[in-house]
Amino acid sequence: MAHRRPVKHAGHEVMAVARGSSKTHYHLRRRLAIIFGATAVFSLICTLIVYIAEHHAKGSEIHSLWDSFLFSTSQLLTGSSVANPATNLGKILELVFDLWAITVVASLAGSFGAFFHARSKEMNEEMERAEAALRHTVGADHPPTPHAGGQEKPS
């Protein structure tokens, strides 16, 4: 069995996902695009909602669209924020953002878990096909003897 360099192999797998080289790679690429695309759209919508709710509120740390974007995006991606909302709507949105962050992390974990499971099965099938082809090639060069395995061939 050939020894593979893990970092080089990982780089090949990342590029295979980017290209969608196999069905498994394509599915992971599609799942990642959906997760990140949905998060980007949700982040923009939340940025506007937080800005409208917070920018004039007394004691708010969110004064500009940039502050709102930074708050919303950090909250959506990490579950922690750079500002504290001053309004009740902002506090409710913060909880929604936390739920989104948990959902994104769980979705990413599930997507990668499904990918690794399917990819290992795919690699095992590729290895079996290669071994079968090798046996076929070796078998063509050396035909089996009629008495292989110690048993005589019936007449």
22 closest CA partner among 123, 150, 155, 135: 123
CB 130 within 8 A of CB 138: no
CA separation for the pair 51, 95 (Å, rounded): 16
114-127 pLDDT tens trace:
988 888 888 888 88
- pLDDT confidence of residue 44: 93
6-64 pLDDT tens trace:
667 778 888 888 888 888 888 888 999 999 999 899 999 999 999 999 888 888 888 89
CA separation for the pair 46, 59 (Å, rounded): 20
CA separation for the pair 32, 26 (Å, rounded): 10
Q: What is the pTM of this model?
A: 0.67
Give the contacts of 37 (CB within 8 A, at least 6 positions apart). Answer: none
| Chain centre distance of CA 139 | 42
- pLDDT confidence of residue 149: 53
Structural domains in the chain, CATH included, are 17-128 (1.10.287.70)
93 closest CA partner among 103, 104, 105, 81: 81
CA separation for the pair 42, 60 (Å, rounded): 22
- pLDDT for residue 133 is more than 70: yes
70-102 pLDDT tens trace:
988 888 887 776 778 888 888 898 888 888 889
CA separation for the pair 20, 112 (Å, rounded): 15
Angle at 32 between CA 26 and CA 34, to 5 degrees: 100
